[in-house]
Amino acid sequence: MLLVIDSGNTNTVFAVYDGDVLRGEWRSSTRSDRTADEYGVWLSQLMQFIDLKREDIKDAIIASVVPANLFTLKTLCRRYFATEPLVIGEPTVDLGLQIMMDRPEEVGADRLVNAVAAHVKYVGPLIVIDFGTATTFDVVDGAGNYHGGCICPGINLSLEALHMAAAQLPRVAVGRPAQVIGKSTVPAMRSGIYWGYVGLIEGLVKRISEEFGAPMTVIATGGLAPLFIEATEAIHHLDQDLTLRGLVEIYRRNKAA
């Protein structure tokens, strides 16, 4: 079985795949002070709940946008699962795509993994919107090559910035308001964030498609993606497992090589 690790700025996702079958998935807050032993004990106990043993894991693959966590996650794989993990971004790992960027080394691992997964499942030029700590828009051509995109402040990050910078604005939860015009401060904030992001999505999708010069299929992923797919026709597909499937696909390509 394959241990898949996706370490983002906010959460780290651990998943176990048996071929293409997802056997288990667990999340932990991303903290650079957490040790390999802490992860190992935590993950081993969770695996036991679904009748998996550490010895069942034969291989591992890691994508991380937090460099400080990479050594810890590698140590976890070596010490607790007796495997040398593939790591997205290392020269020996073939992603199977061209990175059409001025500085390919600066592209986040998660964005490239999403591009791989999206090209495998969906047809034609694509835009992948990932609602994470940052909201990213990534462009993939019909051959699966990565062309860059846009990076925007994440929704929760924007809400926190409003609260921190304005003394009279409270923290509010993200949600779809019943109306656009807020009649008090909290509804006005919720409306501005929610419908402002809908406008951001629609505007950037339109501009990216026009600049690319072709109709594009739009896929949304990330924790807050379900909130927005119902509010706009600009998003065609919701795919919550995109990054994990991309890691499985990259593992398969490299092991078959």
Q: Report, as residue numbers or ranges, the catalytic residues.
A: 110
CB 198 within 8 A of CB 232: yes
Integer Cα distance of 242 and 178 in angstroms: 30
Q: Is 13 annotated as a binding residue?
A: yes
Q: Is 7 annotated as a binding residue?
A: yes
Closest CA to 14 of 51, 44, 35: 44
Closest CA to 172 of 222, 161, 183: 161
Q: Is 136 annotated as a binding residue?
A: no
- Residue 139's alpha-carbon distances to 46, 125, 132, 209, 242, in angstroms, are 36, 7, 17, 9, 15
Closest CA to 94 of 113, 67, 75: 113
Q: Is 12 annotated as a binding residue?
A: yes
Q: Is 72 annotated as a binding residue?
A: no
Q: Is 9 annotated as a binding residue?
A: yes
Integer Cα distance of 110 and 10 in angstroms: 13
Question: Given the structure tokens 């990479």, which residue do they identify?
Answer: 70
Q: Is 11 annotated as a binding residue?
A: yes
Amino acid (one-letter) located at 247? L
Q: Is 8 annotated as a binding residue?
A: yes
Q: Is 130 annotated as a binding residue?
A: yes
Binding region for substrate: 108-111, 185
Q: Could you tell me which residues are annotated as the binding site for K(+)?
A: 130
Residues tagged in the binding site annotation: 6-13, 108-111, 130, 133, 185
Query: Which residues line the annotated binding site for ATP?
Result: 6-13, 133
